[in-house]
Amino acid sequence: MIKFFRKIRQRTLTENKFGKYLTYAMGEIVLVVIGILIALQINSLNEENKKEKLKDNYIKAFQTDLKADVNLLEGQIANFNEELKKNVALAKRLSAPFANSDTIIKIARYKFTPFFNPSNELNLNTLE
């Protein structure tokens, strides 16, 4: 293809047809510009596709992290409900007329944890 264009260019120059050569040169410039524009458009589309894939990956990672956080929070809610049941039972026993100090000490010693430590370490893998 390049030889074909080279022959046309050389023939028009040797025949002193400057007008035709100028037309040919302008056509070649237009073809090069069109080729560059097509390449830029293809590159732009590829970059947009990469950004879309990256966005989709982030969304999937956030969904995975949120599911893990939901599971963690559901476990904490179950623990809170157990502690609430124990506290309600303790309140009933303490308000009973026959509650004595030995019963209260036994309940406090064996039925309750000495501290409350909820771990709110939510999943932050996506943000790292």
Say which residue, 116 or 32, is predicted with more confidence: 32
- The reported pLDDT for the residue numbered 57 is 93
pLDDT value at 122 more than 70: no
| Number of neighbours of residue 100 by Cβ within 10 angstroms | 9
**Contacts from 58-61 at CB under 8 Å and sequence distance 24+?**
58/126, 61/125, 61/126
pLDDT value at 121 more than 70: no
The answer to whether residues 51 and 104 touch, using CB atoms and an 8 Å cutoff, is no
- The reported pLDDT for the residue numbered 30 is 93
Whole-angstrom distance between the N-terminal and C-terminal Cα of the chain? 53
pLDDT value at 125 more than 80: no
**DSSP character at residue 97:** T
pTM: 0.55
Tell me the average pLDDT across 33-40: 96
pLDDT value at 19 more than 90: no
- State the Cα–Cα distance between residues 24 and 1, nearest whole angstrom: 15
- The reported pLDDT for the residue numbered 90 is 79
The answer to whether residues 60 and 37 touch, using CB atoms and an 8 Å cutoff, is no
pLDDT value at 1 more than 70: no
Q: What is the mean pLDDT of the chain?
A: 81
- State the Cα–Cα distance between residues 13 and 1, nearest whole angstrom: 19
- The reported pLDDT for the residue numbered 123 is 64
**DSSP character at residue 111:** S
Say which residue, 7 or 43, is predicted with more confidence: 43
- The reported pLDDT for the residue numbered 34 is 96
